[in-house]
Each structure stands twice: as structure tokens, then as C-alpha cells.
Amino acid sequence: AHLARIEAVDEKVHAFLHVDREGALAQARAVDEKRAKGEKLGPLAGVPLALKDIFTTEGVPTTVGSKILEGWIPPYDATVTKRLKAADVVILGKTNMDEFAMGSSTENSAYGPTGNPWDLTRIPGGSGGGSSAALASFQAPLAIGTDTGGSIRQPAAVTGTVGVKPTYGGVSRYGMVAFSSSLDQGGPCARTVLDAALLHEVIAGHDPMDSTSIDAPVPPVVEAARNGSVEGMRVGVVKQFRGEGYQAGVIQRFDESVALLKKLGAEIVDLDCPSFDLALSAYYLIAPSECSSNLARFDGLRYGLRAGDDGTHSAEEVTSLTREAGFGPEVKRRIMLGTYALSSGYYDAYYGSAQKVRTLIKQDFDKAFEQVDVIVSPTTPTTAFPIGERADDPMAMYLADLCTIPTNLAGNAAMSLPCGLAPEDNLPVGLQIIAPVMKDDRLYKVGAAVE
Ligand code: GLN
């Protein structure tokens, strides 16, 4: 049914870069066989899923939305891919994304944009716009995304779906193509809080293949999602997450959510986190710096595209010709920014200062979580904007992540879930819930209560 749905609507939506029809049917048949033989089935047996094209999949193309990996067939599965298969999930295919996960609209994909199913002339968010659009257009009930600065939560917000950025280290990064290693985090996307929890439980947990993976039990997310409640909880509202640039309808729905939390028995606490005003600036130094280092491996020699390979060019020339042809403008911009920020003489002024700001943000969160159990905010300042509106204005694009970025810098967990439509444009608004490190279960407890 889902393959038929993809065939019917994805020409218009363009959520998928690659539909693995044969692979999906084979996985589904394998589940049927296991069931017929009475063998033990995985926890998500037979449930179809759309996988962001940033996770390696053995024998299935993985492009990361870039021309530089066009035609590359990975020889191995990412840990997330492996765990999905072990849970008997049916992987339908790989979803569209901003090239190397750099963007907030999926317009930076080298393979063309994805439309928002609510209005195909608008963006589905980014970088994981393919995964969120697949959910919102009922092409898959579950999807996987990655969140470096908001790429799970912002697409969820603008498509009226649920997306969770687990605590950093909660889900293995092995086989997840690196953008900014200290920020990147894979996580579940779904249409309901409980579905997200069921997927979270399958992909999370310690992995010896990832040195930053946390060696501790997975927080009890499913139990929390089944027992939604905010009774007696202290919920923080941060002063810095509203004001100039926020759409009136977004603030209206957010205020209504806060009122609902209060009605359901939560105590609302006003918080001041002054360092959050600096988060965007710090992020746009740290993320490009790490990207400039991580993307050095795309040298035209190891995998994917190779340009200038005609015997007349040196290895250095092949590398630069490949990068010239294979990387899009946003990726080049980030590599240049990052290389500059890390260069000798500038390190203290840029990267070093950004790391100090990161510490301040972490301290603001620590102080906040002494007073409250969770923090809530709008997920994004505005609803989905028209495709093309911010494409030539990187600064305007970066503002989409105003509320999501502090969490990536501090490493704690956050969820976005729908909280109604903005009255002025009838487009979905996202409510963000933020929890302390390894308290991911609180997101589900609160999310299930207000869903
Ligand atoms: N939009 C942000 C960026 O462009 C975040 C991307 C992400 O979370 N992968 O970097």
C-alpha cells in the first residue's frame, strides 16, 4: 500500500531520492515467512519506514543529497540501518535532504527541492524535508532524520508531524555521514508521539562503533509515551524564545499550549537564558568548522564522483576539480567559513570564542533545569515559507533554527510536535519540548499529555 501511495503522489512531493521497491518487498516477504514459521518477530515487524539519505545502506545508493556521492553504493549498513533491519522494519527508500544536511528547507539538495504536502509551493523544512514530507503525505508512517541544528524538529514543525532529537550520544552516529560531529544526532520521526517512542527505542542504545555513544540504558520512552501527564511538573518558558521575527499565529498557538499545560496541572516558570541570544552565531562558527574538517575526506579518490580523471591532471587537481563539480554553493560556503574560522591566528577570535559561548549555553540550561523539569517554546519562529523566498539569503534561512540550535550546542534532548494551525495561513505550528541530558522520556510524557 505504501509503495502504491509513493507511486501515486511522490512525483509531486519528491520526498524520496531512491525508492527501494525490490528491497522493501523482500523485507516484507521475509517478515511474512518468519510469521508463517512461528519465528520471533522484531518489535516493528513489517512497519514501513523512510530513511534519510544520510545513513549508509548496504547495496542501496546513499547520496547525502550531494552530487559528490552520486552513484556511490555503500558496502555496509549504518548502525541505525542495522537496528531497523533487526527490528524487522521495511525500509521503503532514502529521503531527500539538503546537501550534507546543510539547510532548513531542502532547497539545497542537489536533486531538486521537496514540496510541503500542506502546500506544495512551500518548503517542508530542512535538512530532513524528505522524511517529514513522506510522513505528512502518508507515504510512510515512520521516518528517520538527523538533527545538527534542528533538521528533525523544524521539518516536523512545518509539516505537522512529530520529530525527536535524542540526547547527543543516545543514537549511534556510525554510518551516518558526518556534518558537524559534536552536534549531529539521529532520531525518530512519526505522526504520533507513541509511534516516535516505539521507533526511538529501536534505534537508541550504546554502540561500541561510536566513541561518543552513551553507555547507559535507553530512557523509558515508550512507557512515558503510554502514560502522558504533566501533573505536578514544572515547565519553563524562556524569555529569549519570543519577540521580533516571530509570526503572530505561532506565538498565539504557543501561548495556548502553555495555557493547556497549566490546565493539565503543570506549574509554569518564567526563565531567563541570556546566552541563547548568542547560540545562532556560535553554531554558525562551530558547525562550519567541523564540516570543513569532516568534508576533507571527499577528495575524488576514495568514493563517489571523480572529475578530471583523464591522465592529464595531478591528484591535487583531480581533488579540486571533483570538489568544484560535486559540492553545491551552501556546502562550499560552509567549508570556506569553517576553514577561515579554524585558521591560525583566527582560532581564538572565532572557533575558540564560539566554544566559550557553547559553555555558557550549557550553563544556562543547567541553571534552568534546577528550576524546571522541561522547557517549552515554539519550534520555529514562522510556519513553512514559500520555496525560493529565502534561497538567496543565507542569513534569513539561518533564522529558522533560532529555537532549536541551543539544544544541539548543549547536547540535551528535544521534541517537536504539532500544536495547531496558524490562523493567518492555516499552516502547522510546532511546539518544542526540551529535556535535560538522558531524560528523553520526559519529552514523551509531556508530548503524550498535550498531543
Ligand atoms: N539548518 C541548520 C543548518 O543549516 C541545521 C541543519 C541540521 O540540523 N542538519 O546547519
pLDDT at site 347: 87
Task: Kindly report the number of other CB atoms within 10 A of residue 343's CB atom.
Answer: 12
For 218-260, give the DSSP string. PP-HHHHHHT---TT-EEEEEGGGSSTT--HHHHHHHHHHHHH
The alpha carbon of 396 and the centre of ligand 1 are apart by a number of angstroms equal to 13
pLDDT at site 303: 85
Q: Give the ligand 1 atom nearest the CA of 183.
A: 8
Full-model pTM? 0.98
Q: Which three cell numbers stand for residue 11?
A: 512525483
Element (H, E) at 434: strand 428-435
The alpha carbon of 98 and the centre of ligand 1 are apart by a number of angstroms equal to 9
Q: Is 151 in the pocket of ligand 1 (CB under 6 A)?
A: yes
What are all long-range contacts of 262-266, with beta carbons under 8 Å and residues at least 24 apart? 264/229, 264/230, 264/231, 264/449, 264/450, 265/229, 265/230, 265/231, 265/232, 265/233, 266/230, 266/231, 266/232, 266/233, 266/234, 266/235
Q: Is 64 in the pocket of ligand 1 (CB under 6 A)?
A: no
Q: Measured between alpha carbons, how far is 290 from 416 in angstroms, rounded to an integer?
A: 26
Q: Is 150 in the pocket of ligand 1 (CB under 6 A)?
A: yes
Verify cis geometry, omega within 30 degrees of 0, for the bond prior to 137: no
CB 170 within 8 A of CB 185: yes
pLDDT at site 244: 87
Q: Is 101 in the pocket of ligand 1 (CB under 6 A)?
A: yes
CB 299 within 8 A of CB 319: yes
pLDDT at site 424: 97
The alpha carbon of 443 and the centre of ligand 1 are apart by a number of angstroms equal to 21
Q: Is 104 in the pocket of ligand 1 (CB under 6 A)?
A: yes
**For ligand 1, atom 5: residue with the closest CA:** 149
pLDDT at site 337: 95
Q: Which residues are catalytic?
A: 52, 127, 151
Specify the residue for cell string 556511490. Answer: 72
**Segment 60-86, tens digit of pLDDT:** 999 999 999 998 999 999 999 999 999
CA 2-8-426 angle, to 5 degrees, is 90
Q: Would you give the DSSP letter of residue 180?
A: S
Which residues of the chain are modeled with pLDDT < 70? none
Q: Measured between alpha carbons, how far is 330 from 387 in angstroms, rounded to an integer?
A: 16
Q: Give the ligand 1 atom nearest the CA of 287.
A: 10
Residue ranges and CATH numbers for the domains of the chain are 2-225 (3.90.1300.10), 234-275+360-450 (no CATH), 281-348 (no CATH)
Q: Measured between alpha carbons, how far is 90 from 137 in angstroms, rounded to an integer?
A: 18
